[in-house]
Structure 1
Amino acid sequence: MRYLYAPAFFFGFIGLALYLVGEGVSLIALPALLPLAILLAFLAERLWPYRPGWNESHGDGARDLVHALVNETLNALGIAAVPLVTLWLPHLDLWPTAWPLALQLLVALLIADLGITLVHVASHRSPLLWRLHAVHHSVTRMYGFNGLMKHPLHQMLEALGGTLPLLLLGIPLEVAALLAFAIAIQLLLQHSNVDMRIGALRHLFAWAPLHRLHHLKYGTAGDVNFALFFSVWDRLLGTALHLPDYALAEDDLGIGDRPDYPVGYFDQLAEPFRRADVLHPPAPLPPALQRAGVSVR
């Protein structure tokens, strides 16, 4: 099951969504599938945990639930607004509507993934964007649900980077809804606490064994594996990292020079707009990561 979990979860839920939409089922069925995906993710994390301690609450469970509800509501409103946006936004009518629905979704995934990845990279380079993105990196454990934990403003920036090209091309509403559902499924997999084994699939998909390294708390050591869906973007950007022999410790995650980062939901919303008066030294790079060739600038 450790080898089957990631591909079965990814292709199972996205395949089911494609089937339902293809059969003319209302798009409302897609967000209704998400609680089932979250429930199965929680169950798998308890059956095959990567780090058992990450299954224990760090006082963050209720906060992550609020983040998820707010951000998924914003996603749903964004999808509902697609017909209105297309009325005033110029578009090129280049979308391949005659293609099979699965192929249309693949095109949407590739285009959106590139845009979201570039916004993600910029969020680690720009101090202003980092203040918004730091909310997501403040997590000190990884489990599927906190993949949905983002500052709403940063989520909107990522969504803009990923969907504006698609809107200009004339993406249909049903493909936009499938894309939003696929992103939620991928975030559950990227941040999963399942001890999944993905083997050669790491060359294609940016699932948890790669993305966990992006959340390392040691300075710029985590400036790797930025892609949301496809790891090819990190290879092209020179930011790909794979450490098969390094098992993350339970305290490897977070923001090393901000151990005091707020935990509460509303405090996290306000934190990007506050002045950080207290400076902390960066967390030292563990010897095991040094031996693996990881460096910090």
Structure 2
Amino acid sequence: MRYLYAPSFCFGFIGLALWLIGYGQHSLWWLPALLLCAISLSFLAEALLPFQPAWNQPRQDRWRDMLHAGINEGLTVCGLASLPLLAGVLPASHLWPQTWPLWLQLLLTIAVADLGITLMHWLSHRSALLWRLHAVHHSVRRLYGLNGLLKHPLHQALEALAGTAPLLLLGMPPVIAALLAFAIAVQLLLQHSNVDMRIGALRHLFAWAPVHRFHHLKYGQVGDVNFALFFSVWDRLLGTHFRHPGYRLAPDDLGIGSQPNYPDAYLAQLLEPFRTPMRASRPCPVPAALRSLEQP
């Protein structure tokens, strides 16, 4: 299970969606049902084989995370529904490779969107204004599949724009856009999973949980690594790829070290980026095993 979970989860759900929607010509409404199945399987795997058992215990955050996930995925559906309207506004384009196999079109879409989302993510750790929105996602104090969907709606919109704008200008079909949105949701579940998975050499290609967990370290700039959503190659190009096989994250390694009192309630998190800047505490002391990663 440790070795098979990540590739089976990723390729299984995305492949099934591609087959049902693309080749089986089934309704797009199959995608929300598939996503619920993915969330359920994620919960089951985390219960059977947790990376940190403590992260399976709710910290009065389960309903908040469900609200974030439900509302953000609902906004994604609204965005997909608006694509025909956007097509009428954007200049007509015949650049989309419609003759390619559907799986190859989806792979191209994922690669282009991944680059845009990764760059927006990278900028969100360097811009004070963007960080205020992105901090909602980093306020989590435990990692499990569902909180991969925990984002401020405005920041999710910015990431979506960064990832899809070039694709929309190329004339991306609505079916491919829907499959892309589903693939991103599946990847976020897998990237933040609490399953004690083993991915071996696949870590050089895919930014799954063993790679991404280091990004959520609460120790100042130590966590400014592994920004990619799908493919680790972007972090190698940015110089932000990091691997520390000898360090196993502890249950209390996560969060925003300089803002330990970041609000937990859903509405408070939506309003926090617009409040008077909170006085930041001193950064958390960096564990000895990670001190070599501190930025000057």
TM-score of the two chains, using structure 2 as the length reference: 0.98
- Residues 104-183 of structure 1 mapped to structure 2, 5 A cutoff: 104-183=105-184
How big is the shift at 1:239? Answer: 0.3
Tell me the equivalent position of 2:276: 275
Q: Which residue of 2 aligns with 1:286?
A: 287
Paired residue type of 1:12: G
- Post-superposition offset of 1:89: 1.2
Give the number of aligned pairs: 295
Residue identity in the other structure for 1:92 = S
Q: Deviations over 1:73-114 (max 9, x none)?
A: 000111111111111012432111111110000000000000
- Cα deviation per residue 1:52-78 (whole Å; 9 max; x = unaligned)? 000001111110000001100000111
Q: Are positions 1:234 and 2:235 aligned together? A: yes
Q: Secondary structure at the match of 1:95?
A: coil
TM superposition shift of 1:177: 0.4
Q: In the alignment, does 2:269 pair up with 1:296? A: no
Q: Distance in 2 between matches of 1:89 and 1:222?
A: 38
Identity %: 65
Q: 1:87 to 1:217 in 2, by over 3 A?
A: same
> Could you say what secondary structure the match of 1:125 adopts?
coil
Please give the alpha-carbon distance, in whole angstroms, between the structure 2 residues aligned to 1:126 and 1:103.
35
- How far apart are residue 16 of structure 1 and its match? 0.3
- Structure 2 counterparts to residues 56-75 of structure 1, below 5 A: 56-75=57-76
Q: CA deviation at 1:276?
A: 2.7
Report how far residue 279 of structure 1 moved: 2.8
**Aligned 1:201-212 pairs, distance under 5 A:** 201-212=202-213
Letter in 1 for 2:175: E
Give the whole-Å Cα distance in 1 for the aligned partners of 2:72 and 2:230.
19
How far residue 275 of structure 1 moved from its aligned partner, in angstroms, is 1.2
Q: CA RMSD in A?
A: 0.8
CA contact (8 A) 1:210 1:242 kept: yes
Q: Partner letter of residue 7 of structure 1?
A: P
In structure 1, give the amino acid aligned to 2:20.
L
Provide the C-alpha distance between the structure 1 equivalents of 2:272 and 2:294, rounded to a whole number of angstroms.
28
What letter matches 1:257 in structure 2? Answer: S
Counterpart in 1 of 2:10?
10
Q: Secondary structure at the match of 1:142?
A: coil
Structure 1: gaps (5+ residues): none
1:124/1:91 Cα in 2 relative to 1: closer, same or farther (>3 Å)? Answer: farther
CA distance in 1, matches of 2:189, 2:216: 15
